[in-house]
Structure 1
């Protein structure tokens, strides 16, 4: 995580997302769409400074954030601090929340760890719960390469671990999950993932 200097970025994060560059295109629309689909007690992985709380009830919200700087900025803004954790270590008990959300953060999870990250999110879900992942994603590796070239974003896109829908479908198939993907714009998708069976281990 140090490669992205989240602690340093915390100082300007809120201003940066307002610029709505390609990676944050339709930023507030995306957060609102995620909040509208969430239900019950929500845990937000990689919550940053907690901007999604513009649309969610803080009394039914738990933030999880690995960056000390982001957690401090969150505390100043909202009056409480998120938990110290990340996608592979969510500091909650099994089956304790109704919805797991993550916005503009899943691309920091290396492709080889994405299955484990989804398993960890499933672990904390109550039966009948769901996962909402909103982030830059691509239909396939081919689409990723094409958009990278067309939009002059090769270096920026290769610097992150943006998911492909092909890979997420493969993960969901192995874990016995139902999924839906909705495209918000050229870059950003929302994945909605739920269990098909009560077998939580997949």
Structure 2
């Protein structure tokens, strides 16, 4: 297996796992049953990657490899078994941040590996990183992550762009992927801890 393909697979599984856990945590917050836990985890875990694959006309990644769904189910079982008490909402934020950062790189990496234009590859990273969380929030009847003032799409954009730029400069995949992930996670962490946000529109609607 080529280094690029290996990195894609490793990051993909990691992103699916943490996003799946965030979906299960959303189900836990609403006190759903174990089946709903699994459903939330699966939809959140593979939602962004599914949209990415459909847009770049690639085979949907989990259809031929159902182990991705099993990873989501495993995350759901872990959340159901361990429970998170009062820290559940905070954990949801951090799991979501990890999944977002990983998927920002994964989405751009897969698009790049298939010859997608760099600008489009950045957009694929953003969509992959954000769409699963959007579906999760809709299903959980919670305000969408896209409607919160704290930075969310911006960290995904910066992480994806960092990866694509370094990859274009032929940096080692560990360097470009690692720095892309760290950029997205660092900016999102600042948004969570310090409520970073971009200036709101001040003109007349």
By the TM > 0.5 criterion, same fold? no
TM-score by length of 2: 0.31
From the two aligned structures, give the one with the greater helix fraction: 2
TM-score by length of 1: 0.31
Q: Which has the bigger relative contact order, CA under 8 A and spacing at least 6?
A: 2
From the two aligned structures, give the one with the greater strand fraction: 1
